[in-house]
Amino acid sequence: MTATTTDIPNPGNLIGGQWVPARSGETFENRNPADTDDLVALHAASDASDLDAAFAAASEAFPGWRATPGIARGNILYKAAEILASRVEHIARELTREEGKTLKEATGETMRAVAILRYYAGETAQPHGEMYPSASATTMLYTLREPLGVVTIITPWNFPIAIPAWKLVPAIAFGNAVVIKPASDAPLCTIRLAEALVDAGLPAGVLNVVTGSARALGDGLVTDERSVAVSFTGSDATGKIIREQATAHGKKVQLELGGKNPAIVLADADMDHALTQVINGAMMSTGQKCTATSRAIVDRAIASEFTQRLADKIGGLKVGNGLDGDTQIGPLINAAAAESVADEVAKAKSTGTNLLVGGERMASNGHSRGHFVAPALFDGVTPDSRLGQHELFGPVLGVIPVDGLDEAVAVANGVRYGLSASLFTRDLTRAMTFVREIQAGIVHVNSETAGAEPQVPFGGYKGSSSYSREQGKAARDFFTQVKTVYLDPSPA
Ligand code: ADP
């Protein structure tokens, strides 16, 4: 059956509790990156006037939401979690169709958003202030955590429901009002999350969703004075602009940027386990995770066997539409991304790096309507080369042979990023050395570099983050400010 245009979702923006088209009436298309004949949704092509309405609605809603007890906010989040959970099957299919990852990954990601809602619902019932002794016998000295106000959230397309959830849910839980702009490549999941919150009874204006290109929305997205903080996940280049604009306007700013994450495999590792974990870290979600493994730093004693086994397995991965049950690797997000990854592979090859498998655009046998690149493995990558330093954001893994742990850690640390890192070993002393010496915000021993449980802090060292952390209790630090109270009921 062919979908008619009336079957195509066209939700519009969420502004002041209403789903409304862009004021211009313009929309843009969002197509399945595995099959560009599949029109997933139409979205509001917003401009500065829509954004203005969103900031106005958030400003109006903030005082009431701030005054709402945390427990009552949490009850809405619990309800939204149940609503979202009841829609997982439907949303996961949409997620696969808009972003491309496999249905299994999409289902897991949607369930993660449910878990995030539950976690922060619970956080609203936790103590968030501290009691201190005072030098005065009659003074009660304590701290409160209060919301910041209206906050702006700008998200990427690679985790189109989990990242919006892990930013906007704590923002709301702690009493802020939100304007969120999802990435234009995959806005529908943010809208599905917002629908669950609205259906759960979130008051009008507490959450506002504005879709459209950052260029059309204008600098006001970051600089509008009604918003006091910006939380962003995306590319380095955009992060730099946002950091400068937000800082110039005196705002609190949180950035999650790239990674060039290493997995170190020592000679004593369980090789079968390391193989599976390194491949999962490098290739799941088509390598489009900021925590993806892009460098396998392997002890020379096992490098040739390990690399050969990697090549065999990577060459056998089934690439296709994420809706097909046997697909292991989906497409890249768009044509430009597929071109860019294939170009980087060609460039590395032309400079003499040994490409063992993959790296080419796939255009036949069911791949003709999607943005597919065959998962690639390079051998003998030089740490200082472009392939060893530059984030590709695609299914490309490079093996860097080293002699022992010390060299491995030096190579692992020799990049400007520091998001996540893995070590595979059976030796506890080496594991402890790695944990101590590695420059990364998320460290794994005997598990892949990707993965983020909602109850713990998430973020990187060096160029990967802005020294703040997301998720878990760390999100509270960003989305609240501290008030210190000296309360003396009976001054002498
Ligand atoms: P990617 O699209 O590859 O994830 P970007 O950093 O370009 O990486 O985009 C991440 C998010 O930032 C998207 O929602 C995008 O629309 C938005 N964005 C891009 N440029 C700007 C900008 N100058 N100011 C604010 N947001 C921007």
What average pLDDT score do residues 354-381 get? Answer: 96
For the Cβ of 221 lying below 6 angstroms from any atom of ligand 1, the answer is yes
Ligand 1 atom 9: residue of nearest CA? 234
Cβ–ligand 1 distance for 187 under 6 Å, the answer no
> How many angstroms separate the alpha carbon of residue 236 from the centre of ligand 1?
10
- CA 68 / ligand 1 centre spacing (Å): 32
Mean pLDDT, the chain, whole residue set: 97
Q: Is the CB of 156 under 6 A from ligand 1?
A: yes
Rg of the chain taking only CA atoms, in angstroms: 23
| Predicted pLDDT of residue 440 | 98
Judge if the beta carbon of residue 354 lies within 6 A of ligand 1: no
Residue 393 near ligand 1, beta carbon < 6 Å:
no
Report which ligand 1 atom has the smallest distance to the Cα of 219.
24
**Is the distance from the beta carbon of residue 340 to the nearest atom of ligand 1 less than 6 Å?**
no
Q: Say if pTM beats, i.e. exceeds, 0.85.
A: yes
Q: 371 CA to middle of ligand 1, Å?
A: 20
As a whole number, mean pLDDT of residues 207-218 equals 98
Please name which of 353, 269, 356, 343 lies closest in space to residue 312, comparing C-alpha atoms.
356
**Interval between CA 44 and ligand 1 midpoint (Å):** 17
Nearest atom (ligand 1) to Cα of 185? 2
Which of 238, 240, 340 is the pocket-test mutation for ligand 1 (most atoms within 8 Å of CB)?
238
- Provide the pLDDT confidence category of residue 2 given band limits of 50, 70 and 90: very low
What's the pLDDT tens digit per position in 270-316? 999 999 999 999 999 999 999 999 999 999 999 999 999 999 999 99
Whether 214 is in the pocket of ligand 1, judged by its Cβ within 6 Å, is yes
Q: Which residues are catalytic?
A: 256, 290
Contacts 24+ apart (CB under 8 A), 135-139: 136/488, 138/488, 138/489, 138/490, 138/491, 138/492, 139/486, 139/487, 139/488
From the CA of 154, how far away is ligand 1's center (Å)? 7
- Interval between CA 240 and ligand 1 midpoint (Å): 11
- Give distance in angstroms: CA of 181 to centre of ligand 1: 9
Ligand 1 binding pocket includes 245 (Cβ within 6 Å): no
Closest CA to 280 of 102, 443, 457: 102
The CB of 290 under 6 Å from ligand 1? The reply is no
Does the structure show a pLDDT above 60 at 43? yes
Averaged pLDDT, 100-127: 98
Q: Which of 154, 217, 286 to mutate to test the pocket of ligand 1 (most atoms within 8 A of CB)?
A: 154
Q: Is the CB of 329 under 6 A from ligand 1?
A: no
- Does the beta carbon of 433 sit less than 6 angstroms from any atom of ligand 1? no
Q: How many angstroms does the Cα of residue 483 sit away from the middle of ligand 1?
A: 33
Residue nearest to atom 19 of ligand 1 (CA): 214
The residue whose two tokens read 């106005």 is 56
Query: What's the average model confidence in pLDDT over 28-37?
Result: 98
Instruction: Taking residues 349-377, report their average pLDDT.
Output: 95
Residue 6's pLDDT band (cuts 50, 70, 90): low
pLDDT at 366: 84
